[in-house]
Structure 1
Amino acid sequence: MAEKLRMVLAATPSFRDMVFGAASVARLEALGDVVVLDDPGDAAALTAALPGADVLITSWGATPLTAGVLDHADRLRLIAHSASSVKHFVTDEVFRRGLRITQAGQAMAEPVAEVSLAFTLSLLHRIHRFDHQMHDGAWRDDAPPQHGLTSSQIGVVGASRTGVEYIRMLVALGAEVVVYDPYLTDDRAAQLGVRRIALDDLLRTSRVVALHAPTLPETHHMIGARELALMADGSSLVNTARSWLIDSAALLTELQTGRIDAALDVFDEEPLPADSPYRSLANVLLTPHQAAATVECYLEMGEITAAEIERYAAGEPLEYELTEAALARMG
């Protein structure tokens, strides 16, 4: 490396402690000087720190990178986001100026997929229903039939990063997996060991339906009353992706009949209100939008960020670079 980099790290102290462990901090410091900003949403502080900076490391709550902010970024070439989605702060101005962007969302794929798998197994074996019953003092009260994973068809909506990790886990455990994703090719499906299928057919025939689609205009409420009605009696729905994908009112209505079960980690309103009807339903398993929140996931986000900046400094291809076209297809 011809010269040391100047990096600006905009992240709260708690985020830095959680994501940037000693190893990733050492890697960054070996690359050059790191200027730390404690408030990632402070546009004035970022504007003051950007002159002379080569790399901007962003985090949760990043301030939008408008023309007014970027006008002060005279040397900036790389934006390394140490979390997942960049849509809340990356503007058209970033691409107009030819800035490169990378992100660390891959770290979240495996833990979220693990939770989706845990949800799937719990729903198949009705663990959530038995848990509710036993807390209420009952013993083996009526519940829909239990099923094994290897005798079940699992439908996956969206072969995203997380969707692919979930698929790999399912296939390794011997499940039959079908996938709906308009971008999934036959060759890629064969590599994953899955079968492509139309959404309506997936809903009709799958014992568990797991959502892993991105947030796009065309995916808003892609699962509504009509789609839920296609699901077989006793089947289940898993959502660790985004509440954007489901018409929540239609889902609640369907769940209140007891005809299907669900496991949900994401909601239209977060925190989920204390009086939410979801909380009283024995056929629903709930977690508080924590699917990715493992210690290892957060530390890997920091490691990915440091590794991407190392690649940039060495003139090597970035592993997780985002193009404008790719960003348009991502949630």
Structure 2
Amino acid sequence: MAVVAVGGALREQVFGAESWERLLRRADLVLLDRPGDRAELAAALADADILVTGWGTARLDPELLAAAPRLELVAHTGGAVSPYVHPAVFDRGVRVTQAGAAMARPVAEVALAFTLALLHRIHRFDHALRSGAAWERAEQAPERHQILGCPVGVIGASRTGRAYIELVRALGAEVTVSDPFLSAADAEELGVRVAGLDEVLATSRITAVHAPALAGTRHLLGRRELALLPDGAGLVNTARSWLVDEAALLDELRTGRIDAALDVYDAEPLPTDHPLRALPNVLLTPHRAAATVEGRYALGESTVAEIERHLDGRKLLHAVGREALERVE
């Protein structure tokens, strides 16, 4: 039996008709429309072999795990599993898988859109026209550039980072990557140059952040690092605000020296009076980079495929271990 602890609205967004039919063929399902209700989840887990989790599911801690004596697999329909899985799950040998790879393409596309917008100062023009500036005033913006031949820096050759690299290189960007774990062979295959963080920041017209949110990457870009960005450069962050000192970034942006495009923030929802909202050199979206129709269905497809592999006794493609709990959601 599989407990699908994903609320009804989200369940419909994540599981397309074809993947849902495949799941129905392979398992008896118990659907929970209030996945955060611990008592309801505990009752459902009594006979469960598989637990499907999503945003809002109660964390599977020792108490809930004790209510699930038959549990073999936790299949998360998102990326980071740390908010939903306690270390005790791994202690008991329950397999854990997640669908984060399905998010790479839509997030990379948004990062590409951000990159093009910053290069062409589209956000500045839009802000000027919407705020009532005269045409002659609205025309004024820092120099604009095309992506062909553009020096683009990428911090983190993650799944999303690699998808972004593929997109910007296809448009002619010259990419330099900072990632201590990127091998020379992988860099060659990706068609990128590898350099230290400081060099990437100092030599890139656009820098895109795609590093994981770990304890060691907290404020990876602080005041010193942000000061290395050249005048007129742009910063793209579709990863986590954890990676960038938001106060330091705000100070840099207030000078007008650099531009930024952001999908993630320290406070979410972003307060209506937050100073970022008023700056003409900032492009903002409300943490929705992964939320395309196709991207959401890809999460469900990935989840169902992993459940099928588990039931068939095959190797999981997206299994994670205890180290996954170090990631910050």
TM beyond 0.5? yes
The counterpart of 1:44, out of the listed 23, 39, 43, is 39
Instruction: Report the CA distance between 1:327 and its aligned residue.
Output: 4.7
Instruction: Report the CA distance between 1:102 and its aligned residue.
Output: 0.7
Residue 24 (structure 1) aligns with:
19
Residue 230 (structure 1) aligns with:
228
Pairs within 5 Å for 1:56-95: 56-95=51-90
Residue 14 (structure 1) aligns with:
9
How far apart, in 1, do the equivalents of 2:203 and 2:157 lie? 18
The counterpart of 1:325, out of the listed 317, 323, 326, is 323
Partner SS, residue 308 of structure 1: helix
RMSD: 1.3
How far apart, in 2, do the equivalents of 1:280 and 1:142 lie? 18
Fraction of identical pairs, as percent: 56
Matched, 1:127 2:122: yes
Instruction: Report the CA distance between 1:330 and its aligned residue.
Output: 7.3
Residue 3 (structure 1) aligns with:
none
The counterpart of 1:154, out of the listed 146, 152, 155, is 152
1:218-270 Cα offsets, whole Å, 9 max, x none, are 11111111111111000010011111111111111110000000001111111
Q: TM-score if structure 1 supplies the norm length?
A: 0.95
Residue 193 (structure 2) aligns with:
195
Residue 277 (structure 2) aligns with:
279
In structure 2, runs of 5+ residues without a counterpart are none
Instruction: Report the CA distance between 1:107 and its aligned residue.
Output: 1.5
Q: Which moved more, 1:140-149 or 1:304-313?
A: 140-149
Q: Which moved more, 1:316-325 or 1:97-106?
A: 316-325
Residue 183 (structure 2) aligns with:
185
Q: Is the 8 A contact 2:120 2:146 kept in 1?
A: yes
Partner SS, residue 175 of structure 2: strand
Partner SS, residue 165 of structure 1: helix
**Aligned positions, number:** 326
How far apart, in 1, do the equivalents of 2:312 and 2:81 lie? 24
How far apart, in 1, do the equivalents of 2:313 and 2:159 lie? 26
Q: Is the 8 A contact 2:264 2:287 kept in 1?
A: yes
How far apart, in 2, do the equivalents of 1:155 and 1:327 lie? 28
Q: Which moved more, 1:320-329 or 1:224-233?
A: 320-329
Instruction: Report the CA distance between 1:151 and its aligned residue.
Output: 2.2
Q: TM-score if structure 2 supplies the norm length?
A: 0.96
Residue 134 (structure 2) aligns with:
138
Instruction: Report the CA distance between 1:72 and its aligned residue.
Output: 1.9
Q: Is the 8 A contact 2:152 2:206 kept in 1?
A: yes
Q: Which moved more, 1:130-139 or 1:313-322?
A: 130-139
1:57-115 Cα offsets, whole Å, 9 max, x none, are 11111211111111121211110111221111211101100110111111211111000
Residue 289 (structure 1) aligns with:
287
1:137-177 Cα offsets, whole Å, 9 max, x none, are 33353211111111211000111111110011111211100
Residue 302 (structure 1) aligns with:
300
1:187-211 Cα offsets, whole Å, 9 max, x none, are 1111111111100000100000110
How far apart, in 1, do the equivalents of 2:140 and 2:248 lie? 25
How far apart, in 1, do the equivalents of 2:195 and 2:324 lie? 24
How far apart, in 2, do the equivalents of 1:141 and 1:311 lie? 56
How far apart, in 2, do the equivalents of 1:29 and 1:89 lie? 24
Instruction: Report the CA distance between 1:134 and its aligned residue.
Output: 2.1
Matched, 1:261 2:259: yes
In structure 1, runs of 5+ residues without a counterpart are 1-5
Partner SS, residue 186 of structure 2: helix
How far apart, in 2, do the equivalents of 1:138 and 1:98 lie? 65
